[in-house]
């Protein structure tokens, strides 16, 4: 199995649900507007891995601690110890016997059925399937079985890995695969009472993490839209680790048994950022009405005056775009909740783009909610009480260990759910800061300042700072993902400050039917004209810079609070490297 995913050995995929998200993959009948092969491939593999991890966890968590008289294996503690070398030899009958027993504990039919209903039946994955067959058609493999004698505890721990190849068609229609893997362990004890105590600790640990009091106690204060930044803030906050450690220490103490203690040295949180995003937007976003072509010249006059230094016009613009009835930045309404206006009106300063009612609407049908229900967590979301909640993060507890007579034994992985709350007075204040910061980032990024005027820049060229060492790249086709960060880093520090205040995300995009897509390449000519495009032979489009509050890479087609100056229809590109561009190096 040649290609091991980054999701290797994760027993449950971790979900982050920003206040503006819709669970990807939940609506298997909705066709995405732009077929992004790599993204759809990754989403399909993640969906299969979720099913794989969840089902195998259910199969094996019950066998973490095994009493000798309730042992699924043919061998007892004494025989495991006596013939340990044989058990650790993959060629031996003993190893093969254990492998066969583990195979019999796997409910593979359950995994196959769920993959069939959730993946094979999903219209968005049809182009990836080989003859419309299940991507896990070749089943699974038990491997890397290791037997560890824990002499002080009089136990043998059996660690193992279960892997499956996920098959799909690549871009050119050839068959390819990637491997997903699950790891677990089982410990066989000689002493029945010791195994019983471990089982009791495991049960109480699961009950407390899932309890209403504990499940709803985790909260992080952050105004960042960058989900990774917020996740890292959680990971680095020692108070959360202390809270979990306190729970485990008390559980162990309550056993009143000698030799047992909680070992928190290796305990850590885990978060994976490419999972689910949930959008609380009432709309597809804010559609700018600034207009750059002649037929829209009046609607764009205020923006153009502001860019040329007119402070009064700039004030008018900023006040207008913060209004729900804005004429410059009208909202595209999609009322998924009929009485949403009435609900929002009950609260002081609740934003239409960030509110708990739409979050709850999406949350109830999200992958995150499924995870909560399947684990048995009593995490509760009551929108009336969540005025400042802008996101929910799912973190995974890993490497929690209980030691007995100085030998360590892991507990099963568990999920914990975090609310992200704004530090602002309300979400409307946060939305308004986003609009301020997004506007000023654009202005500063394009080098409009107090010296900009009709005389100095009559065509409102978007002047960018050229990164160091870029002179040698003239007329070369440059991948956006590799070179666009250089353009951002070269910007005015004041622009970067606006971007970093709230952890905003940006990209150069193009319109698609029903949505948007990223431009893939950058090129510039000797005159300094800059081109953002997908196909050098098809440049008949309007690229634009888009700024999002929440990280858009979670779900590219999900609704998300965003801002842009609009498409430069006055500079319609015809030929890369030749046509005049609205983007130019200073």
User: Average pLDDT in the 206-231 region?
Assistant: 94
* Same-domain pairing of 259 and 122: no
For residues 304-313, give the mean pLDDT: 93
Query: Where among 423, 442, 474 does a domain terminate?
Result: 423
**pLDDT-based confidence at 561, cuts 50/70/90?**
confident
Q: Are residues 115 and 255 in the same domain?
A: no
The predicted-structure confidence for 353-404, as pLDDT tens digits, reads as follows: 888 988 888 788 777 888 899 999 999 999 999 999 998 888 999 999 999 9
Q: Are residues 462 and 416 in the same domain?
A: no
Q: Are strands 562-563 and 268-270 parallel, antiparallel or unpaired?
A: unpaired
CA triplet 418, 202, 80: central angle to 5 degrees? 135
- Give the percent of the chain with pLDDT over 90: 64
What is the spatial distance between Cα 70 and Cα 422, in angstroms, rounded to a whole number?
51
Whether residue 1 is contained in a domain is answered as no
Which of 244, 154, 153, 144 lies closest to 184 in space, CA to CA?
Answer: 144
> What is the chain's length?
586
Same domain, 431 and 414: no
Lowest mean pLDDT among 8-22, 73-87, 93-107, 234-248: 8-22
Residue 362 in tokens: 């999406």
DSSP string, 248-265: HHHHHHHHT-TTEEEE-S
Of 398, 406, 409, nearest to 189 by C-alpha is 409
Tokens 């205040």 correspond to what residue?
501
Cα angle vertex 118, ends 114, 124, to 5°? 155
Mean pLDDT of 40-60: 93
Neighbours of 247 (CB within 10 A): 17
Q: Are 222 and 500 in contact (CB under 8 A)?
A: no
Using DSSP's 3-state secondary structure scheme, residue 140 falls into coil
Which of 2-6, 41-45, 280-284 bottoms out in mean pLDDT, i.e. has the lowest?
2-6
Q: If pLDDT is split at 50, 70 and 90, which confidence band does 2 have?
A: very low
pLDDT of amino acid 276: 45
Question: How does DSSP assign 76-106, residue by residue?
Answer: -HHHHHHTHHHHT-TTSHHHHHHHHHHHHH-
**3 state SS of 535:** strand
Assess if residue 123 is contained within a domain.
Answer: yes
The DSSP H or E segment spanning 515 is strand 515-518
Q: Mention every residue, 6+ apart, whose C-beta is less than 8 A from residue 332.
A: 283, 284, 285, 286, 287
Mean pLDDT of the chain: 86
- Vertex 76, ends 71 and 82: CA angle to 5°? 155
Query: Is the pLDDT score of 564 beyond 60?
Result: yes
Please report which confidence band the pLDDT of residue 273 belongs to, taking 50, 70 and 90 as the band edges. Answer: low
Q: Which of 238, 155, 229 is nearest to 197 (CA)?
A: 155
Q: Mark whether 392 and 459 lie in a shared domain.
A: no
403/482 same-domain check: no
Coil vs helix vs strand at 438: helix
Residue 545 lies in a domain: yes
Give the count of domains, the chain: 3
- Evaluate if residue 554 carries a pLDDT over 90: no
| Mean pLDDT confidence for 341-347 | 92
Query: Is residue 42 in a domain?
Result: yes
* Start-to-end Cα distance in the chain: 51
171-175, 288-292, 370-374, 420-424 — which one is most confidently predicted on average?
A: 420-424
Q: Which domain holds residue 159?
A: 35-190
pLDDT in the model for residue 20: 39
Query: CA 541 → CA 538, 576, 578, distances in Å?
Result: 8, 11, 15
Instruction: Band the pLDDT of 332: cuts 50, 70, 90.
Output: low
Q: Are residues 413 and 434 in the same domain?
A: no
Both 390 and 494 in one domain: the answer is no
Q: DSSP characters for 537-573?
A: TB--S--EEEEESS-GGG-TTS---EE-----GGG--
For residue 75, pLDDT beyond 70: yes
Does 401 share its domain with 435? Answer: no
What are the tens digits of pLDDT across the range 107-149?
A: 999 999 999 999 999 998 999 999 999 999 999 999 999 999 9
Specify if 466 maps to a domain.
yes
6-22: pLDDT as tens digits = 333 333 333 333 443 33
Q: Of 566, 565, 542, 562, nearest to 552 (Cα)?
A: 562
Q: What dihedral angle (degrees, nearest 10) is formed by the CA atoms of 315, 318, 320, 325? A: -170
Same domain (yes/no): 514, 487: yes
**Which of 392, 423, 454 corresponds to the end of one domain?**
423
137 within a domain of the structure (yes/no) = yes
pLDDT at 31: 42
* Three-state secondary structure of 26-72: CCCCCCCCCCCHHHHHHHHHHHHHHHHHHHHHHHHHHHCEEEHHHCC
| 239 and 145 together in one domain | no
Average of per-residue pLDDT across 217-240: 92
Asked whether residue 410 carries a pLDDT value surpassing 70, the answer given is: yes
CA 23 → CA 12, 195, 450, 548, 571, distances in Å? 16, 40, 44, 18, 37
Please, are residues 402 and 263 in contact by the beta-carbon 8 Å criterion?
A: yes
Triad 312, 318, 322: Cα angle to 5°: 145
Give the Cβ contact number of residue 586 at 10 Å. Answer: 10
Check whether residue 44 and residue 170 sit in a common domain. yes
295 pLDDT band, cuts 50/70/90, is: low
Q: What are phi and psi of 178, to 5 degrees?
A: -135, 155
pLDDT of amino acid 333 = 61
Rounded Cα gap, residues 156 and 537, in angstroms: 65
What tokens were used for 437?
A: 């910061």
List of E strands, 362-497: 389-398, 401-404, 407-410, 414-421, 462-464, 478-479
Contact yes or no for 267/241 (Cβ under 8 A): yes
**Is 330 among the domain residues?**
no
Q: Report the pLDDT averaged over residues 447-473.
A: 93
Contacts of 202 (CB under 8 A, 6+ apart): 64, 65, 411, 412
Among residues 423, 457, 479, the one where a domain terminates is: 423
Indicate whether 336 belongs to any domain.
no
């Amino acid at each position: 199995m040649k290609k091991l995913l980054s999701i290797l050995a994760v027993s449950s995929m971790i979900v982050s649900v920003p206040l503006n998200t819709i669970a990807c993959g939940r609506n298997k009948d909705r066709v995405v507007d732009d077929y992004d092969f790599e993204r759809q491939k990754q989403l399909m593999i993640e969906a299969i891995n979720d099913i794989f991890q969840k089902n195998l966890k259910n199969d094996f968590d019950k066998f973490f601690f095994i009493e000798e008289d309730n042992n699924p294996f043919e061998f007892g503690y004494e025989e495991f110890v006596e013939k340990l070398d044989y058990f650790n030899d993959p060629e031996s009958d003993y190893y093969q016997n254990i492998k066969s027993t583990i195979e019999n504990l796997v409910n593979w039919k359950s995994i196959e059925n769920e993959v069939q209903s959730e993946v094979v039946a999903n219209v968005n994955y049809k182009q990836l399937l080989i003859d419309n067959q299940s991507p896990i058609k070749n089943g699974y493999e038990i491997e890397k079985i290791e037997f560890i004698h824990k002499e002080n505890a009089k136990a043998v721990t059996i660690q193992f890995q279960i892997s499956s190849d996920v098959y799909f068609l690549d871009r050119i229609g050839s068959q390819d695969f990637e491997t997903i893997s699950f790891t677990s362990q089982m410990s066989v004890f000689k002493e029945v009472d010791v195994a019983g105590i471990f089982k009791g600790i495991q049960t109480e640990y699961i009950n407390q993490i899932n309890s209403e009091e504990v499940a709803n106690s985790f909260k992080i204060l952050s105004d960042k839209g960058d989900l990774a930044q917020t996740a890292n803030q959680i990971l680095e906050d020692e108070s959360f680790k202390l809270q979990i450690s306190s729970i485990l220490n008390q559980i162990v103490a309550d056993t009143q048994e000698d030799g047992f203690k909680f070992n928190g040295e290796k305990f850590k949180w885990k978060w994976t950022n490419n999972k689910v995003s949930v959008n609380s937007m009432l709309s597809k976003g804010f559609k700018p009405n600034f207009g750059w072509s002649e037929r829209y010249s009046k609607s764009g006059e205020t923006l153009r005056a502001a860019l040329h230094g007119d402070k009064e016009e700039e004030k008018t613009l900023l006040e207008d775009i913060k209004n729900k009835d804005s004429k410059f930045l009208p909202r595209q309404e999609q009322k998924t909740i009929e009485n949403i206006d009435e609900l929002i009106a009950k609260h002081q300063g609740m934003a239409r783009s960030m509110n708990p009612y739409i979050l709850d609407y999406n949350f109830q049908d999200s992958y995150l909610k499924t995870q909560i229900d399947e684990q048995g967590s009593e995490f509760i979301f009551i929108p009336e009480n969540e005025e400042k909640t802008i996101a929910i993060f799912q973190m995974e507890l890993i490497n929690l260990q209980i030691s007995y007579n100085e030998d360590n034994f892991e507990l099963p992985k568990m999920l914990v759910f975090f609310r992200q709350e704004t530090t602002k007075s309300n979400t409307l204040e946060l939305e308004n800061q986003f609009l301020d910061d997004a506007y000023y980032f654009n202005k500063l990024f394009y080098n409009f300042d107090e010296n900009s005027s009709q005389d100095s820049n009559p065509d409102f060229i978007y002047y960018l700072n050229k990164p160091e060492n870029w002179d040698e790249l003239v007329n070369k086709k440059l991948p956006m993902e590799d070179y666009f960060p250089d353009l951002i880093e070269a910007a005015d520090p004041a622009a970067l400050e606006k971007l970093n205040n709230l952890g905003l995300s940006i990209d150069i995009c193009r319109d698609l039917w029903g949505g948007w897509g990223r431009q893939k390449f950058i090129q510039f000519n000797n005159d300094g004209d800059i081109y953002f495009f997908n196909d050098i032979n098809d440049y008949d489009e309007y690229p634009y810079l888009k700024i999002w509050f929440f990280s858009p890479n979670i779900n590219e087609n999900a609704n998300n609070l965003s801002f842009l100056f609009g498409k430069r229809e006055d500079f319609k590109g015809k030929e890369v490297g030749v046509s005049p561009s609205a983007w130019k190096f200073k």
